């Protein structure tokens, strides 16, 4: 059975391997067992039921809470050549009838519908006469009041098990808490369900946090790094959405707004423009997001602090669903804390307590100096299995610790004491900066010994430090106005018994994350652009979102391997038979024309592609091959052929593939090779990154790459 699934995976989706837990999740369905699958956004949940649905006899019934989600998935399936349909209220009676006919004649592999419709009058009876392979419940946390998105109609799904006791049910969600999981099992009446819980680390997301100062400039810097790429900017309030949109458009960035205050129709139009890439940026309140499965969102910016890490994870998680690198930047201000407190003021006691706790954890995340990946994982009860994530501002060294943290902290704390713990952040900052503010002069605070003590620092820096001291528990903000008071820990700092860690943004340029470096490795950017334009055109002609035609990962692979023929095109991840026959000719022509014009070679890179025969090699490559045959060291070969070392490693990898070499000496020593071989067990040998990561970066990327090239020949 699993073989059939593998075949379907390659034929319809163009994938050759599974993401973590996908195989286990599929085995449940093939074996007829109930299951609850918890995987993060982008973890590949839909494939867990789509691939078995294709191979099992009958039709799989998929329950989904939103029309947009159903439409996206059905469109995607049809693009891959899988017979799928949905039933929803936007369809005409004719469309409706035709879906029902297809269903009754067993022509559908998947049918998507809402819980209301599934349990509506007569529908279960209709299904009773049809062969159903299984029920898949998407966004299953909607059954739970403990989730963030309870839907009463999901509760009724409990009837399914009673109506169809022999049909397996699989529930899928990205919401991890134990409460929710238990609720899903109970509410759906699952029997002996297998629980599959994935890691919640989104290693391809690069998290960054900064105090907010001039937000438009800060946002501008992020956008600078993502020209022409899709992204979402979240604001706390509608007003902020509108303002930011105006400002961005005035600067020539095309951005569309989205918030609950807009007319339904306008919102829908903007969402559609974003999905079809007519605009790249959407500026939104949290009203935006549910039902957006756009896989190639490359950045998510928050211009204010969300009210919990759950919210942050969910919103920022909309970036990088395709597994490629994406950036999540959070700009926070002390005012956000107060705003949320204000909005939460009317909550009943118990709820208020929980909300306040979540808020303060969120705030600690912002002001903390711990690895962001670790902080988020710890919050969700998991741990990070590496020391340096290589994908957050802390680990990338973008924050610099202030040398004299203790002295700076003491200056701030003593100023608060001198102000008799009566003032908030803004006022205290101004006193420390030595401001000539009327109010300060009138109160005589310009005569305090702490007046102007930090005048050689920026206002943003001083504010940031105060917030950090709050975050680290040295200062507390009291009451409606957030009056600063010194905590016992703060007094310990004043007495020199405890040193807090204060940091400031580093002045060096932004580091490129390892994830980004890896996923762009050997990609011809010019060709990537050309293919992206082709994709946009195809998408418009077929009236589907671009990412459903080909994902970004597929475009990069194409621009890396540059296939010349359909057989080789089919080996690219994300190109199945249907897409190959439908778009293959255009894709191959684009690649051929580009490579001809640029003098780029084709059919190189990638282990799946055979190394090129001698007659197709460039002069540099030929010389390199000769030198490798003499076992010359890499550096020497690089110099001899006047190529960068990275290119030379590429030549070596091709040489190894071509000559079918199985041990990497003299380029990598035996013990290193043994370690890589060990780490690569049960791994997909065509993927370098997972093995490199398993080794915690202790062995260089190139060495791992060379070793894997040898292992592939065994």
**Binding interface with ligand ADP (CB under 6 A):** 15, 17-19, 22, 39, 41-47, 293, 295, 321-323, 551, 573
Separation of alpha carbons 524 and 517, rounded Å: 13
CB nearer to Zn ion: give 139 or 393.
393
Q: Residue 45 binds which entry of ligand ADP, Zn ion, none, with Cβ cut-offs from 5 to 8 Å by kind? A: ligand ADP
β-pairing, 169-173 with 35-38? Answer: parallel
CB nearer to ligand ADP: give 469 or 575.
575
Phi, psi of 222 (to 5 degrees): -70, -45
* Min dist. Cβ of residue 169 to ligand ADP (A): 18
Q: Residue 322 binds which entry of Zn ion, ligand ADP, none, with Cβ cut-offs from 5 to 8 Å by kind? A: ligand ADP
Q: Count residues contacting Zn ion (CB under 5 A)? A: 5
* Min dist. Cβ of residue 374 to ligand ADP (A): 22
Region label for 206, one of left (φ > 0), alpha (ψ between -120 and 50) or beta (otherwise): beta
Separation of alpha carbons 118 and 124, rounded Å: 7
CB nearer to Zn ion: give 183 or 398.
398
Q: 256: which 2 tokens? A: 């569309």
Of the residues 377, 395, 637, 708, which one makes contact with Zn ion according to CB under 5 A? 395
If one asks whether residue 369 binds Zn ion (CB under 5 A), the answer comes out as no
Separation of alpha carbons 153 and 143, rounded Å: 8
Separation of alpha carbons 448 and 420, rounded Å: 11
Q: What Å distances lie between residue 316 and 156, 295, 340, 523, 666, CA to CA?
A: 31, 13, 19, 26, 45
CB nearer to ligand ADP: give 322 or 398.
322
Sequence-distant contacts of 260-268: CB under 8 A, at least 24 apart? 260/285, 260/287
Q: Residue 504 binds which entry of ligand ADP, Zn ion, none, with Cβ cut-offs from 5 to 8 Å by kind? A: none
CB nearer to ligand ADP: give 184 or 236.
184
* Min dist. Cβ of residue 392 to Zn ion (A): 3
Give yes or no for a contact between 524 and 562, defined as CB atoms under 8 angstroms apart: yes
If one asks whether residue 205 binds Zn ion (CB under 5 A), the answer comes out as no
If one asks whether residue 371 binds Zn ion (CB under 5 A), the answer comes out as yes
- Ranges of beta strands (E only) in 465-614 are 475-478, 483-486, 503-505
Alpha-carbon 705 to chain mean position: 25
**Three-class secondary structure assignment of 383-426:** CCCCCCCCCECCCCCCEEECCCHHHHHHHHHHHHHHCCCCCCHH
Torsion over CA: 134, 136, 142, 146 (sign): positive
Q: Residue 302 binds which entry of ligand ADP, Zn ion, none, with Cβ cut-offs from 5 to 8 Å by kind? A: none
Of the residues 392, 462, 609, 649, which one makes contact with Zn ion according to CB under 5 A? 392
Q: Residue 395 binds which entry of ligand ADP, Zn ion, none, with Cβ cut-offs from 5 to 8 Å by kind? A: Zn ion
If one asks whether residue 375 binds Zn ion (CB under 5 A), the answer comes out as no
Q: 368: which 2 tokens? A: 């903390």
Q: What would the x/- binding string for Zn ion be over residues 325 to 364, using CB under 5 A?
A: ----------------------------------------
* Min dist. Cβ of residue 441 to Zn ion (A): 45
* Min dist. Cβ of residue 15 to ligand ADP (A): 4
| Cα end-to-end distance, the chain, whole Å | 27
CB nearer to ligand ADP: give 5 or 283.
5
* Min dist. Cβ of residue 554 to ligand ADP (A): 9
* Min dist. Cβ of residue 16 to ligand ADP (A): 8
The residues of the shown chain that bind Zn ion, judged by CB under 5 A, are: 371, 373, 389, 392, 395
């Amino acid at each position: 059975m699993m073989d059939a699934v593998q075949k379907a995976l390659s034929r319809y989706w163009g994938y050759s391997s599974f993401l973590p837990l996908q195989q286990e999740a599929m085995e449940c369905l093939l074996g007829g067992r109930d299951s609850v699958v918890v995987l993060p956004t982008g973890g590949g949940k839909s494939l867990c039921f789509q691939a078995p649905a294709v191979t099992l006899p009958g039709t799989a019934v998929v329950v989904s809470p939103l029309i947009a989600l159903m439409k996206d998935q059905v469109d995607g399936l049809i693009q891959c050549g899988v017979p799928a349909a949905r039933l929803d209220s936007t369809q005409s009676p004719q469309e409706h009838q035709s879906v029902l006919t297809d269903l009754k004649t067993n022509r559908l592999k998947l049918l998507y519908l809402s819980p209301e419709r599934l349990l509506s009058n007569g529908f279960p009876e209709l299904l009773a006469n049809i062969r159903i392979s299984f029920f898949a419940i998407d966004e299953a946390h909607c059954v739970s009041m403990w989730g963030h998105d309870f839907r009463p109609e999901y509760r009724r799904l409990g009837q399914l098990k009673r109506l169809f006791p022999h049909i397996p049910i699989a529930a899928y969600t990205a919401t991890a808490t134990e409460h929710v999981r238990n609720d899903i099992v109970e509410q759906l009446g699952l029997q002996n369900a297998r629980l599959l819980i994935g890691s919640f680390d989104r290693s391809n997301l690069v998290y960054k946090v900064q105090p907010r100062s001039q937000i438009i400039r800060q946002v501008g810097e992020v956008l600078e790094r993502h020209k022409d790429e899709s992204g979402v900017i979240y604001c706390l309030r509608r007003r902020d959405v509108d303002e930011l949109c105006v400002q961005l458009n005035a600067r020539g960035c095309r951005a569309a707004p989205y918030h609950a205050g807009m007319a339904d129709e306008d919102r829908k139009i903007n969402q559609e423009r974003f999905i079809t890439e007519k605009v790249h940026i959407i500026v939104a309140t949290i009203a935006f997001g549910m039902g957006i499965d756009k896989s190639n969102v490359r950045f998510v910016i928050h211009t204010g602090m969300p009210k919990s890490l759950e919210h942050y994870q969910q919103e920022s998680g909309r970036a990088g669903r395709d597994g490629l690198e994406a950036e999540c930047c959070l700009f926070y201000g002390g005012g956000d804390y107060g705003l949320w407190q204000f909005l939460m003021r009317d909550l009943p006691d118990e709820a208020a307590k929980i909300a306040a706790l979540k808020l303060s954890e969120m705030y600690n995340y912002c002001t903390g100096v711990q690895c962001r990946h670790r902080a988020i994982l710890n919050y969700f009860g998991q741990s990070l299995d590496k020391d340096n994530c290589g994908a957050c501002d802390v680990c990338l060294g973008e924050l610099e610790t202030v040398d004299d943290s203790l002295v700076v902290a003491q200056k701030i704390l003593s100023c608060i004491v001198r102000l008799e713990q009566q003032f908030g952040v803004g006022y205290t900052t101004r006193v420390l900066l030595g401001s000539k503010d009327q109010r300060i002069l009138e109160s005589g605070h310009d005569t305090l010994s702490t007046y102007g003590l930090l005048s050689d620092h920026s206002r943003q820096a001083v504010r940031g430090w105060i917030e950090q001291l709050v975050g680290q528990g040295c200062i507390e903000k009291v009451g409606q106005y957030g009056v600063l008071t010194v905590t016992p820990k703060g007094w310990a700092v004043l007495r020199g018994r405890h040193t807090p860690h204060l940091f400031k943004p580093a002045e060096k340029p932004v580091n490129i994350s390892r994830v980004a470096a890896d996923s762009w490795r050997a990609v011809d950017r010019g060709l990537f652009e050309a293919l992206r334009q082709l994709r946009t055109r195809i998408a418009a002609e077929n009236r589907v979102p671009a990412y459903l035609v080909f994902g970004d990962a597929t475009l990069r692979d194409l621009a890396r391997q540059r296939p010349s023929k359909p057989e080789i095109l089919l080996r690219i991840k994300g190109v199945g038979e249907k897409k190959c026959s439908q778009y293959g000719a255009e894709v191959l022509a684009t690649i051929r024309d580009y490579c001809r014009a640029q003098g780029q070679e084709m059919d190189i890179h990638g282990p799946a592609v055979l190394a090129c025969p001698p007659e197709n090699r460039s002069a540099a490559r030929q010389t390199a091959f000769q030198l490798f045959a003499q076992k010359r060291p890499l550096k020497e070969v690089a110099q001899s052929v006047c190529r960068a070392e990275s290119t030379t490693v590429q030549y070596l990898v091709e040489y190894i593939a071509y000559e079918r070499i199985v041990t990497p000496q003299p380029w990598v020593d035996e013990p290193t090779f043994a370690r890589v071989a060990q780490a690569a067990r049960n791994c997909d040998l065509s993927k370098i990154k997972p093995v490199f990561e398993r080794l915690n970066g202790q062995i260089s990327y190139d060495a791992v790459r060379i070793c894997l090239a040898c292992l592939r020949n065994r």
